[in-house]
Amino acid sequence: MKDFGLKKLYYSISEVSRLAGLEQYILRYWETEFEQLKPGKNRAGNRIYTNKDIKLILQIKQLLREEKYTIDGAKKILNEFNQDTTTDISDSKKNIQVRSIKKDLEEIKNFLLYLHTSL
């Protein structure tokens, strides 16, 4: 995660909005779409975000804005790799690509076997 210069346990929605470069309404909307994004609330009922929440927000932003995934696509990636502290989106995407390549190679192998046996 980027070092934002702030060394706090909790951040307000306005701080997170500024740090992530997102409007507050987008953060609130993402809470409704991504089950992993559930910031706590303080006694006054205001959202309080942790560093883990901010990391997740930045990963969601990367998937949606930079990688051009749909919300459903981003949800699938996040659900598949259970956003724990050791998983990084770039690692997750590499795993998906490796599985896809393995599947393609298996199909090619089966096709070549089919051609070989039918000759």
Domain assignment of residue 79, given as a range: 1-87
Backbone angles phi, psi at 104, to 5 degrees: -60, -45
Same domain, 26 and 1: yes
Q: For 12-38, how does the pLDDT look when each residue is reduced to its tens digit (9 = 90+)?
A: 999 999 999 999 999 999 999 999 999
Beta-carbon contacts of 60 under 8 Å, excluding residues fewer than 6 positions away, are 30, 34, 37, 74, 78
| Mean pLDDT for the stretch of residues 46-50 | 95
Same domain, 101 and 50: no
Residue 7 has pLDDT above 80, yes or no: no
Q: For the chain, how many structural domains are there in total?
A: 2
Q: For 54-113, how does the pLDDT look when each residue is reduced to its tens digit (9 = 90+)?
A: 999 999 999 999 999 999 999 999 888 654 444 555 665 566 666 667 777 777 877 777
Same domain, 30 and 82: yes
Same domain, 36 and 76: yes
What is the reported pLDDT for 5? 55
DSSP state of 5: S
Same domain, 110 and 64: no
Question: What is the spatial distance between Cα 46 and Cα 10, in angstroms, rounded to a whole number?
Answer: 11
